[in-house]
Amino acid sequence: MTPPAGTITIAQKTVSRLGFGTMRLTGPGTWHDPDDRDTARSVLRQAVHTHGISHIDTADAYGPHTVEHLIRDALYPYPEHVLIATKVGLVRPAPGQWVPLGNPFYLRACVEGSLRRLRVDRLELCYLHRIDPQVALDDQIAVLQALQDEGKIGHIGLSKVTPEQIRRVGKDLTVAAVQNVFNTTDRFDDAVELCAELGIPYVAYRPLDAGNLARVNGPAAPLHWLLEQGTHIAPIPSTSQPRHLDEIVAAVQDGPA
């Protein structure tokens, strides 16, 4: 099966350059269960088994915990070529609310919880979902490094970070991937160029601006714009509808609009 938009190496695994973001496989406000759990599981299987998408991105905060359970139910045992990436470090006080929490004990508990929910012994790629400004960055990174040393994390990524933060963390560990918002509306991010310089895969989340960029002319033009910004860029569009996923995959296979 030919991967959509070719391949990229992330966390030492060759995966489809077009990934699948799972944030929308929940209820409103990225909270609790979706209306139809069977459809959510079906979309995940469709992404992997029908379309050859082998980069699945999630987070413990989606639900919270909902999507990690859905991924396990839909895809376990995971095909060897599939990368399941998750993120830790945000708490969810209520629907639509996201609060960074980088307490080392909390981050450790998050990783342990994700291991159980995904039913794996190691998180191949684990992002710090947000850097908590109230906790020393060294402490947040140190606990992730400790978990990596223990074999519970394979590779460490960063989400929603600046070039300065990437360089700072990169002094202590190998940054496996950076995940920031990047699309034709939010098109200015200095981290894109830095990641190209350092050889770090840049995972573009909200590549269709929560669907806004696809509503008029479809997803082809915004996705191809992203792919043309550098071979290190891997977009992770998200949808909860099988038809929309078909349209997204067809858009990158057929060429720009």
Q: What is the rounded (10 degree) CA torsion for 180, 183, 187, 190?
A: 20
Q: What is the pTM of this model?
A: 0.97
Look up 106 and say whether it is catalytic.
no
- Evaluate the CA torsion angle 204, 209, 215, 221 in order and state its sign: negative
pLDDT in tens, the chain (257 residues): 889 899 999 999 999 999 999 999 999 999 999 999 999 999 999 999 999 999 999 999 999 999 999 999 999 999 999 999 999 999 999 999 999 999 999 999 999 999 999 999 999 999 999 999 999 999 999 999 999 999 999 999 999 999 999 999 999 999 999 999 999 999 999 999 999 999 999 999 999 998 899 988 899 999 999 999 999 999 999 999 999 999 999 999 876 54
Give the tokens for residue 230. 């550098």
Domain 7-254 belongs to what topology? Answer: TIM Barrel (3.20.20)
pLDDT of amino acid 255: 60
User: In the chain, where are the structural domains located?
Assistant: 7-254
Q: How far apart are CA 138 and CA 156, in angstroms?
A: 14
Q: What SS3 string covers 135-190?
A: CCHHHHHHHHHHHHHCCCEEEEEEECCCHHHHHHHHCCCCEEEEEEECCCCCCCCH
Options 62, 127, 202, 205, the catalytic residue: 62
